[in-house]
Amino acid sequence: RQGVVVITGASSGLGLAAAKALAETGKWHVVMACRDFLKAAKAAKGAGMAEGSYTIMHLDLASLDSVRQFVDNFHRAGMPLDSLVCNAAIYRPTARTPTFTADGYEMSVGVNHLGHFLLARLLLHDLDKSDYPSRRLIILGSITGNTNTLAGNIPPKAGLGDLRGLAGGLRGQNGSAMIDGSESFDGAKAYKDSKICNMLTMQELHRRYHEETGITFASLYPGCIATTGLFREHIPLFRLLFPPFQKFITKGFVSEAESGKRLAQVVSDPSLTKSGVYWSWNKDSASFENQLSKEASDPEKARKLWELSEKLVGLA
Ligand code: NDP
């Protein structure tokens, strides 16, 4: 039978490119889990995805109720779940004041980490039940959260500290909107911190569930896709210069189509079944197991993050 893959944030950029790449193989039915139904419908049509090769379902990761509703709707649709890709993200690089999710959590960590944390936990059982030969749960990571790389050392650097801001609920009022508890808000750092959370969560899922369920848990850095909507809130000059800078200076640039193929590989390639891995690609577009920074692979921090996140999303 065809595999069924749920991809969050499949209405643009990497998520859309991966949705297209998987649907085109004919081996996958793609559930596009998106906050803007019309935008997703237009995007799928515009990308030339064949009717019947995908289903759009509403999911707003900035609301935990919406995450729960999505899971109910997915169950009602009666489809199996063979692969889940936590891809959606927001990035507010120039923001100096926080915005908040429906549940009152700082938006970058709320959407990129907490929404996905709840989604992954609620859908784990479905992955476990599936009879598909290789079931996978993939969470997008990034080089920017990895301080063992050059890009990860561009200030502001990621850092969760002792997670005191998260423990306080990331509310901003009478507390901090930043995970490390700092008083001032920095949108760029909040995004990088959320990506560390994504990579720690993947490893904690692996430690807790891989042996028992056989599910493959993986993360990846798809390369710098300098043209996606992720940079929509950056200053215009940055948006103009960033793609050529990545193309000609750092040579880290990848097209949306190439990045989509990479993510599709992590979903379906028979050779990428190893669990607990953070995949990257070299200059010849060959995949390899990459190293995470000390903080992004700290098991004690991962456990603490897991426990605090459970409380914030109402699982504990
Ligand atoms: P885009 O901005 O193009 O896509 C992000 C997607 O997330 C969009 O579909 C967006 O929806 C969706 N989204 C945002 N907020 C929510 C929400 N509240 N609920 C549901 N969906 C939401 O970015 P990219 O394709 O570049 O990023 C995809 C992933 O790749 C991210 O996890 C990012 O961290 C990662 N990544 C990207 C890199 C890059 O260079 N671009 C490098 C490394 C990692 P909408 O269309 O409605 O706005």
The pTM of this model reads: 0.97
CB of residue 246 inside a 6 A radius of ligand 1: no
Tell me which residue has its CA closest to atom 12 in ligand 1: 9
Tell me the per-residue pLDDT of 203-215, one tens digit each, with 9 for 90 and over. 999 999 999 999 9
Give yes or no for residue 147 having a pLDDT over 80.
Answer: no
Give yes or no for residue 168 having a pLDDT over 90.
Answer: yes
Tell me the per-residue pLDDT of 265-281, one tens digit each, with 9 for 90 and over. 999 999 999 999 999 99
Give yes or no for residue 148 having a pLDDT over 90.
Answer: no
State the pLDDT confidence band at 174, using cuts at 50, 70 and 90. Answer: confident
pLDDT at residue 67, rounded to an integer: 98
What number is the average pLDDT over the span 282-311?
Answer: 95
* Active site amino acids: 191
Mutate to test the pocket of ligand 1, among 143, 230, 234, 246 (most ligand atoms within 8 A of CB): 230
Alpha-carbon separation of residue 174 from 170, 177, 181, 242, 277 (angstroms): 10, 10, 11, 37, 38
CB of residue 219 inside a 6 A radius of ligand 1: no
Tell me the per-residue pLDDT of 111-121, one tens digit each, with 9 for 90 and over. 999 999 999 99
CB of residue 229 inside a 6 A radius of ligand 1: yes
Q: ipTM score of the complex?
A: 0.99
Mean pLDDT value across the chain? 95
State the pLDDT confidence band at 144, using cuts at 50, 70 and 90. Answer: confident
Tell me which residue has its CA closest to atom 8 in ligand 1: 9
pLDDT at residue 152, rounded to an integer: 75
The burial class, CB within 10 Å (0-12 / 13-18 / 19+), for 216 is: buried
CB of residue 221 inside a 6 A radius of ligand 1: yes
The burial class, CB within 10 Å (0-12 / 13-18 / 19+), for 208 is: middle
